[in-house]
Structures are given as C-alpha cells and as structure tokens.
C-alpha cells in the first residue's frame, strides 16, 4: 500500500468552456496531419473529449472543431460551398454527441478498470461508430445517387475501421491521463520499460521495414509483441500507451521510407490486436487487484488468527488455573475431613469401646452394636468422599496403579462390570495436572457407565509417549452399554465437564459414534517438555 504522496494526481479539466475549447483545438490540429485512409485520430480525440467533458461544454468543443475545419476548407477553396460544408462536416459531430448523450444516460462511465467496463466501453464505441458511419453513408448516397452501391460499401468499410481505430488509440490514453491516478513507482517502471523495450522495438521495426517483402509485414506483426508485454506488465494503461506508440511508429516508418500506405488488412489487424491488448490489460489489472486484496485479507486473517491463538492460550491458562485451584481446594478439604472428621470418628469408636462393658452390664449391648455399625458406615462414606475429592491412591501408588488397582476397579466390580485395562508408557513424562486430569476422566467415565450405561464391561487403554519433545497421552474409554440417548437430560454435566477439562488442558475430546455403547477418545499434551520432565525426575 503506497502513501498518498506517492500517488500522482490525474490532470483536472479546467472549469471553463473557452479553455477547454482552446486545449481541444490545439490537440485536434496536432492530430489532423496524421489523417489517412483507415486512420482517423481526430475522430478518437472528439470521442474522448465528449466522453470526459461535462455536457454543458460540448458546444464549445464542437464549435471550436467546426471553426477550425471551416478555416481549413477555406484555405483549400471551400469546394461545394457552405451547403456542402454543412452536409459534410455537421452530421458526424452531432450524431456522435447525440449517441454519447444517450449512452451516458445509461450509465456509460469513462473507466477501464475491469474487463466488464472495457467491454461496455468497446460496445459503446461500436454503437457510436456505426451510427456516424450510417449517417455519413446515407448522406453520401443522397448526394451521389448513381454510384451509391460501390461508394457506400467503401465508406462503410473505411469509416468503420478508421473511426474505431482512432477511438481505440486515443480514448484510453485520454482516460488514463484525465481520470486515473498512477503511483509514482508504477510510472517510473512504465517509463523505464518504454526506454528498454519500445525504443529497441521501433529500431527493429525500422530495420526490417527497409527490406523487401515479406519483412515489412513481419515487422508489423513483431511490433505488437511489446504491446502484449506492456499489457501483461502494466495493465490497460501500458497496453494503450504501447499501442499508440507502435501505431505511430509504423505510420512514421512508412512515410519515412516512402512505402505505400498500409491497406485495410493491416489496420484491421491493428484494431483486433489493440482490442485484445486492452482486454488483456484490464484483466491483468483486475487479477492484480484481486491478488492484492487476497494478500491483504490473508495478512488481516493471519493477525486475527494470532490474536485468537493468544486469547485461546489465555483462556486455557485461566481454565488450567481454575482446575489447579479446584484440585488444591479438594486436596485441602480432603485433608481437613481426614484430620477432623476421621479423628472424631476414631475417638467416638474408642469411647464406645471403653463404654461397651458398662452397656453390656446394663443390658444395652444392642446400642453399642448400632453405634459401631453407624460409625463404620460413616467411615466408608468418608473414604468414598475422600476418594472423590482427592484419591490418596493417586499420590501413594502413581497413575498406572491407581487406574488398574484403585477405587475405579472397586466401583466397577461392585456394579458387576468387567474392567479391562491396557496401560503403556511412563506417567512421569506428564505434569501433575495432566495426570490428575487422566484419573478424573477415567473416574467420571466409569461412574457414568455404572449409573446410566447398563454395561457389562468397561475398557481403558492409555498410551503415554512423546513426539518432537512433547509428552502426549492418548486415552481410549469405552463400554458396551446402551449408549447415549438422542437428547441428553438437562442438568447433566458429565460429558460436558470432561470436555471442558480436556479443552482447558489444550487437548482434544472426541465422542466416537461408530461403536456400541459410549466410546471416548482423548488426546492430552503434557505441560512440560520431555527434557523438563527428565530434569525434574
């Protein structure tokens, strides 16, 4: 993206009818000597001027043109008188002005930025050229009635081609100068390519044109190669500029060498090649703008993705912190319950045991039995609660033994379910949060299987390894129960809690639908690298 001061402003038309007419008259006189069969550059200048200028100034422009045309005819004797002058010179500008006025009512704009706009412009050029040519041919037929057929065919062929080619060469150049802004860097590149490509091309054209046929024809075809180069490299601006330089170069070479003027076939080829180059240039510009927009969008999306990654990392860090706080709270609460409630239960049992002899003498031994049964039930409930809060077996025996031999197996066996385990790898590669999460996930899944699945077996497969220095744990949990209902009950937080726990650790949680019962596959990444885990050990 270039700064605004690096972009050259387009020329502004003066807001004055006399000034516009004066400038138009100067350029019209400069182009008038180039007029020849199949080559009508003043016609293209008139089209571009009427297209770009406000309608309120059209009278000044056409008046200046008719005045200078009258002066030229007067110097040559004004053959045919003023009536002949009016018949020959007035209809064409008026028809063009009327045609362009109608086309501007249908939103014809002086723009060539896209292939659609170029196509619309070329179709408008064809309509205007056809209208003026038909009017000229009709007037010529009225004046020269005996030779109308042959003369009309010649007028139609010559004027159609010369007028179309004149507009094709001049109008895009005027639009480029007056309606578009060009970057300083692009202008410098265009000028450098002009020196490095166009000058050698014109030299080659001159050398080949001095030879006998068919070299001159080959030179004309070869001269269009720079036009295609400029169309690819600089878009429609480069194509239009290279086209006018190549065309003027061919005309000047013909006059310098005294060759006969080129025929209709040569100029028809020039018109077709110019049309194709203009379309190619506009398509190249559109593709370049599209690529630039895509690149800008990619940069923007990349920045957004990086920001989202940062936010996701912050959220995972916050969730991990919440889990750590929750586990610390559980650990603290478990310690408090063990120390306070457990000691109190033990104290009550001791006192009951001491008072058991007295109760027996008093015939109330059933009371001591009931109290001991209640205390035993409370101790079992306390142990279950402590296992839920912070399983001591995880701290005492490690992750693998806790999963294989701990309270999870007791829970499943008590429910009459078969428990299969397949454990591989070294849990020391994982950090404490990940080991605790694995145990909690298995514990929650087993509890759900017991409560809801009506399953006969529960399978656990755990693989711990490393890839590229990062510790990984793949957890596979499945049962052969009834599976999940079509609609999960409200208030159920089992699976969602497991998914949240995995997400907070940056893992992946997948519920496999291609298996009877419930099949969970979980991937967890250790918070520490393998090297850090080895150093800690």
Q: Which of 73-77, 177-181, 207-211, 478-482 has the highest mean pLDDT?
A: 478-482
Residue 344 belongs to some domain of the structure? no
The answer to the question of residue 42 being in a domain is yes
Asked whether residue 119 is domain-assigned, the answer is: yes
- Residue 536: CB atoms within 10 Å: 9
> Which residue spans within 172-282 are E strands per DSSP?
182-183
pLDDT value, residue 147 = 52
First to last CA, the chain: 54
* pLDDT number for residue 294: 92
What is the model's pLDDT at position 5? 44
Which has more confidence, 497 or 420? 420
Does residue 488 carry a pLDDT above 60? Answer: no
> What span, in angstroms and rounded, lies between the C-alpha atoms of 333 and 382?
12
Retrieve residue 46's tokens: 């008139």
Question: What span, in angstroms and rounded, lies between the C-alpha atoms of 103 and 109?
Answer: 9
User: Alpha-carbon torsion 338, 344, 349, 350, what sign?
Assistant: positive
313 vs 92 pLDDT, higher one: 92
In a domain, 202, yes or no: no
pLDDT at 10: 57
Two tokens at 494?
């089992």
What backbone torsions phi and psi does residue 282 show, to the nearest 5 degrees? -65, -40
Neighbours of 409 (CB within 10 A): 18
What's phi and psi for 511, nearest 5 deg? -100, 110
Closest CA to 152 of 127, 125, 134: 134
Instruction: Give dist(CA 449, CA 384) in Å, integer.
Output: 18
386 domain-assigned: no
- What per-residue confidence (pLDDT) applies to 223? 67
pLDDT at residue 257, rounded to an integer: 57
Among candidate residues 403, 409, 407, 416, the one with its CA nearest the CA of residue 454:
416
Spatial distance between the Cα atoms of 286 and 280, rounded to a whole number of angstroms: 10
- pLDDT number for residue 531: 45
pLDDT tier, 45 (very low <50, low <70, confident <90, very high otherwise):
very high
Q: pLDDT at position 533, please?
A: 47
Task: Specify whether the CB–CB gap between 162 and 169 falls below 8 A.
Answer: no
CATH number, residue 159: 1.10.1760
- Residue identified by tokens 């385990």 is 421
Instruction: Please check the confidence at residue 30 and state whether its pLDDT lies above 70.
Output: yes
* Per-residue model confidence (pLDDT) at position 137: 76
In terms of phi and psi (left: phi > 0; alpha: psi -120 to 50; beta: otherwise), the region of 517 is left
Mean pLDDT for the chain overall = 79
Burial profile 430-469: b = 16 or more Cβ within 10 angstroms, e = fewer: bbebbbbbbbbbbbbbbbbbbebbebeebbbebebebeee
Residues whose CB is less than 8 angstroms from the CB of residue 219 and which lie 6 or more positions away in sequence, other chains included: 204, 205, 208, 209
Dump pLDDT digits (tens) for 112-139: 888 899 999 999 999 999 998 888 777 7
Once rounded to an integer, what is the mean pLDDT over residues 10-38? Answer: 81
Asked if the structure places residue 260 within a domain, the reply is no
Which strands form 519-529's sheet, in the order they lie side by side?
418-424, 457-467, 470-479, 519-529, 508-512
- Mean pLDDT over 34-50 rounds to 85
Among 136, 157, 181, identify where a domain stops: 181
Between 246 and 125, the more confident residue is 125
Long-range contacts of 504-510 (CB under 8 A, 24+ apart): 504/316, 504/319, 504/320, 504/322, 504/323, 505/316, 505/319, 505/320, 505/323, 505/433, 505/434, 505/437, 506/316
Mean pLDDT score, 367-374 = 77
- pLDDT for residue 102 is more than 50: yes
Q: Which of 17-21, 69-73, 141-145, 367-371 has the lowest mean pLDDT?
A: 141-145
Enter the tokens of residue 144.
């020269």
Q: Is the per-residue pLDDT at 7 higher than 60?
A: no
pLDDT at 463: 94
Q: What is the mean pLDDT of residues 344-373?
A: 74
The strand pairing partners of 466, in sequence order, are 471
Residue 491: band (very low, low, confident or very high) from pLDDT cuts 50, 70, 90:
very low
CA gap 270, 291 in Å, rounded: 31
Over residues 145-168, mean pLDDT: 74
pLDDT above 70 (res 395):
yes
Report the pLDDT averaged over residues 419-445.
89
In this predicted structure, what is the pLDDT of residue 152?
Answer: 65
Question: Does residue 168 sit within a domain?
Answer: yes
- Residue 274 in this model has a pLDDT that exceeds 80: yes
Could you say which of 146, 181, 216 is where a domain stops?
181
Q: Of 194 and 511, which is predicted with more confidence?
A: 511
Number of domains in the chain: 2
User: How much of the chain exceeds pLDDT 90, in percent?
Assistant: 15
Structural domain including 58 reads 10-181
pLDDT recorded at residue 225: 77
Could you tell me if residue 190 is inside a domain?
Answer: no
According to DSSP, the β-strands at 470-479 and 182-183 are unpaired
Q: Which of 204-208, 242-246, 311-315, 349-353 has the lowest mean pLDDT?
A: 204-208
pLDDT band at 78 (very low <50, low <70, confident <90, very high): low
* Predicted local distance difference test score (pLDDT) of residue 388: 66
- pLDDT score of 454 more than 70: yes
Q: How far apart are CA 249 and CA 260, in angstroms?
A: 15
> What H or E segment, with its residue span, contains residue 345?
helix 342-354
Question: Cα dist. 70→45, 73, 78, 90, 267 in Å?
Answer: 18, 5, 8, 11, 29
421 - beta bridge partners?
Answer: 460
CATH for 523: 3.30.565.10
Residue at a domain's end among 148, 181, 214: 181
């Amino acid at each position: 993206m270039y700064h605004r001061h690096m972009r050259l402003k387009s020329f502004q038309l003066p807001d004055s009818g006399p000034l516009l007419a004066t400038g138009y008259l100067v350029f019209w006189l400069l182009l008038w000597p180039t007029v020849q069969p199949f080559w009508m550059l003043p016609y293209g200048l008139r089209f571009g001027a009427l297209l770009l200028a406000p309608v309120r100034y059209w009278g000044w422009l056409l008046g200046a043109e008719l005045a200078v045309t009258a002066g030229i005819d007067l110097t040559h004797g004004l053959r045919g008188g003023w009536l002949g002058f009016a018949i020959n010179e007035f209809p064409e500008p008026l028809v063009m002005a009327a045609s362009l006025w109608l086309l501007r009512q249908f939103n014809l704009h002086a723009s060539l930025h896209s292939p659609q706009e170029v196509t619309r412009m070329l179709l408008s050029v064809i309509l205007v050229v056809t209208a003026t040519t038909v009017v000229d041919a009709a007037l010529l037929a009225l004046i020269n009635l005996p030779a109308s057929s042959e003369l009309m065919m010649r007028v139609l062929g010559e004027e159609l081609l010369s007028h179309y080619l004149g507009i094709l060469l001049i109008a895009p150049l005027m639009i480029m100068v007056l309606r578009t802004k060009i970057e300083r860097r692009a202008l410098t590149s265009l000028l450098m390519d002009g020196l490095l490509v166009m000058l050698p091309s014109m030299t080659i054209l001159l050398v080949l044109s001095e030879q006998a046929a068919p070299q001159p024809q080959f030179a004309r075809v070869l001269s269009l190669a720079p036009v295609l180069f400029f169309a690819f490299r600089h878009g429609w601006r480069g194509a239009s500029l290279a086209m006018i330089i190549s065309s003027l170069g061919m005309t000047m070479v013909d006059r310098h060498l005294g060759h006969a003027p080129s025929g209709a076939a040569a100029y028809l080829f020039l018109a077709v090649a110019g049309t194709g180059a203009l379309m190619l240039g506009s398509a190249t510009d559109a593709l370049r703008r599209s690529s630039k927009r895509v690149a800008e969008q990619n940069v923007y999306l990349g920045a957004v993705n990086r920001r989202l990654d940062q936010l996701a990392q912050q959220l995972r860090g916050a969730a991990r912190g919440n889990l750590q706080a929750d586990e610390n709270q559980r650990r603290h609460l478990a310690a408090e319950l063990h120390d306070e409630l457990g000691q109190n239960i033990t104290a009550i049992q001791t006192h009951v045991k001491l008072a058991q002899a007295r109760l027996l003498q008093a015939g109330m031994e059933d009371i001591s039995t009931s109290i001991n049964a209640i205390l035993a039930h409370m101790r079992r409930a306390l142990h279950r609660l402590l296992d839920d809060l912070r399983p001591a077996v995880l701290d005492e025996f490690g992750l693998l033994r806790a999963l294989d031999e701990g309270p999870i197996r007791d829970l499943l066996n008590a429910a009459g379910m078969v428990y299969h385990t397949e454990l591989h790898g070294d849990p020391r590669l994982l950090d404490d949060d990940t080991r605790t999460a694995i145990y909690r996930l298995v514990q929650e899944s087993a509890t759900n299987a017991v409560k809801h699945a009506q399953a006969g077996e529960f399978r656990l497969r755990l693989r711990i390894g490393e890839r590229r220095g990062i510790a990984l744990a793949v957890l596979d949990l499945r049962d052969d129960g009834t599976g999940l209902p079509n609609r999960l009950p409200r208030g159920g937080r089992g699976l969602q809690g497991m998914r949240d726990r995995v997400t907070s650790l940056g893992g992946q949680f997948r519920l496999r639908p291609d298996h009877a019962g419930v099949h969970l596959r979980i991937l967890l990444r250790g918070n520490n690298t393998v090297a850090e885990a080895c150093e800690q050990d």
